[in-house]
Amino acid sequence: MKTTPRTNTHLKRFLIAASVALAIPLSAAAFGGHHGCGHDGAAGHGHHMMGGNMMPPHLHGLNLTEVQQDKVFEIMHAQAPVMREKAKALRKAEADLQALTAAPDYSEAKARGLADAAAKAMSDMTLARAQADRQVFDVLTPEQRKQLAERKAERDGPRGKAPESRTPPAR
């Protein structure tokens, strides 16, 4: 298959979109929850009502005090404008990259710069999410942290071992 500038552009866009699609759930799963602002996805992910506040689902059942719930609520809502700005930067870089592909002044250097800007925005979003996760973790008591770690271990299972049903047959 011969690659043309248009094919190359589609491939770049696909790779950026795939990176974004993988990075968001993976970074959220690293701490055990999704951190959009009040968004409930089709699979039921997102925040759920708990004590009148929107809370990450991985905190359910930890018996947070009202003070803890208020602090988590503040953390999550303080993160929303940051995430929105980074998402806007990501969309702009992707749109500019798309426009550049049809521009007479297309250059690999400009395209790389825009792809790097998109990657930087995605990286910044992942870091902001990790920072908010850490702030939430700091709100928890030692017992709640232990419960959270136990849940994560149960959910993840033994690291590096494939589930029995997925193990390929021995040859």
- Domain ranges (residues) in the chain: 79-155
Element (DSSP H or E) covering residue 49: strand 48-50
- Model's pTM, two decimal places? 0.57
> What contacts 28, CB < 8 A, 6 or more positions away?
34, 35, 129
Higher pLDDT, 34 or 169: 169
Mean pLDDT of 95-101: 94
pLDDT of residue 6: 61
Q: Does pLDDT of 84 surpass 80?
A: yes
Report, as an integer, the average pLDDT of 32-47.
38
Residues 6 or more apart whose Cβ sits within 8 Å of residue 59 = 33, 50, 72, 136, 148
